[in-house]
Amino acid sequence: MRRVIVDSAIYRDGRRTAGPADLSDALAEARATGDAFLWVGLYEPTEAEFDHVSDEFALHPLAVEDALKAHQRPKLEIYDDSLLVVLKPVVYEPKSDRVSTDELMLFVGDSFVVTVRHGEGAPLAAVRRRLEAEPEVLKHGPTAVLYAVSDAVVDHYIDVAGELQIDLEELEADVFAPVGRHGANTAARIYTAKRQVLEFRRASVPLSGPMTRLAAGEVPFVHEHARPFFRDVADHLIRANEQVEGLDRLLSDVLSAHLAQMGVRQNDDVRKISAWAAMAAVPTMVAGIYGMNFEHMPELSWTWAYPAVILLMAGIEVGLYRLFKRRGWM
């Protein structure tokens, strides 16, 4: 059977300690000391697997349902015995230039934190190690975990926005490249990039509300002295949202510029085709007239009639060519 509980530990005064293997005993011990809390990390639990954890921590059924479905918007829900924070980490795949999102739920209550992770894009081992190396931060309890996880997710938003900015610059260079140097399916690439930005926005923009509430210090189970830290996370989130909004607007402008260029090139092609068709029509018309085989026609009995007609057609062709060339049609 796969291991659902990735890691669990009791932290006392900011330091990891050996605690009871049973969750109820561990939680009771943490609450008894007053300066400790229990952090349990879960990875993609099923309903049956999560039942034991939810019963031990008295998690609200609606919050449990949200954690199991794993298709939630970023949000903050407050219940009687805990609060639920839903985050959507963003993952950028350099090989495919693709953005995907995972889900991360944090249940925060009296002396406990339960993290539920869906997807591979939000490993918390690095966050846990970083916190364990900073006992002065970790001693603030579940609030410190909530802050560190939120900060890691939002900071990664900025990194992904930077990668998308590089992709956008490459698209711009392709769109405004000289004729003949454009990459294949430029319009498709632009639409794909807009889709990636939309996926990013769905993860970052709705998180503004929960971060604002946490920064305001009006959320239970969150230490009031953590307000400046959550304000810092909120500021980083604003920066990430501004970047993604700017990317979306620039992509719209790039798409408009690409479509305008396509229209201009099509008009150029139509003018060139029309010019060549006009030049082809003149000798066709003259040849058609002389090909009707009427008995009484001008110049039929002239010795130099045939060369004269050829020179006339050539002169008209040269005149049309110079006219169209001067007007930029050819």
pLDDT at 184 over 70: no
Q: Are residues 245 and 294 in the same domain?
A: no
Give per-residue pLDDT as tens, 87-112.
999 988 887 778 888 999 999 999 99
Q: Are residues 99 and 238 in the same domain?
A: yes
pLDDT at 321 over 60: yes
pLDDT at residue 75, as a whole number? 94
* Rounded distance between C-alpha atoms, residue 16 and residue 106, angstroms: 19
Give per-residue pLDDT as tens, 107-145.
999 999 999 998 876 678 889 999 999 989 888 889 999
Of 4 and 102, the structure prediction assigns the larger pLDDT to 102
Q: Are residues 148 and 131 in the same domain?
A: yes
pLDDT at 83 over 60: yes
Can you give the pTM of this predicted structure? 0.77
pLDDT at 78 over 90: yes
Please report, for the domain that includes residue 29, its CATH number.
3.30.460.20
DSSP conformation class of 206: G
* Rounded distance between C-alpha atoms, residue 93 and residue 229, angstroms: 30
Please report, for the domain that includes residue 277, its CATH number.
1.20.58.340
pLDDT at residue 2, as a whole number? 47
Q: Are residues 151 and 293 in the same domain?
A: no
Q: Domain range for residue 12?
A: 5-261
Cβ pair 162, 239 in contact under 8 A: no
pLDDT at 259 over 80: no
Q: Are residues 52 and 91 in the same domain?
A: yes
Q: Are residues 303 and 213 in the same domain?
A: no
Q: What is the mean pLDDT of the chain?
A: 84
Q: Are residues 317 and 205 in the same domain?
A: no
* 289 φ/ψ angles, rounded to the nearest 5 degrees: -65, -45
Q: Are residues 306 and 216 in the same domain?
A: no
pLDDT at residue 1, as a whole number? 35
pLDDT at 171 over 90: no
pLDDT at residue 113, as a whole number? 93
pLDDT at 30 over 90: no
Residues 36-59: what's their mean pLDDT? 88
How would residue 291 be classed by pLDDT, with cut points 50, 70 and 90? Answer: low
Q: Are residues 297 and 160 in the same domain?
A: no
Which of 261, 294, 310 finishes a domain?
261
Q: Are residues 186 and 281 in the same domain?
A: no
DSSP conformation class of 205: G
pLDDT above 90: percentage of residues in the chain: 30
Residue closest to 329 by CA, chosen among 268, 252, 277, 251: 268
Long-range contacts of 279-285 (CB under 8 A, 24+ apart): 279/317, 279/320, 279/321, 279/324, 282/313, 282/316, 282/317, 282/320, 283/313, 283/317
Q: Are residues 276 and 241 in the same domain?
A: no
Strand partners, 93: 98
The domain tally of the chain equals 2
Which of 237, 261, 285 finishes a domain?
261
pLDDT at 206 over 90: yes
Q: Are residues 116 and 233 in the same domain?
A: yes
Which of 223, 239, 261 finishes a domain?
261
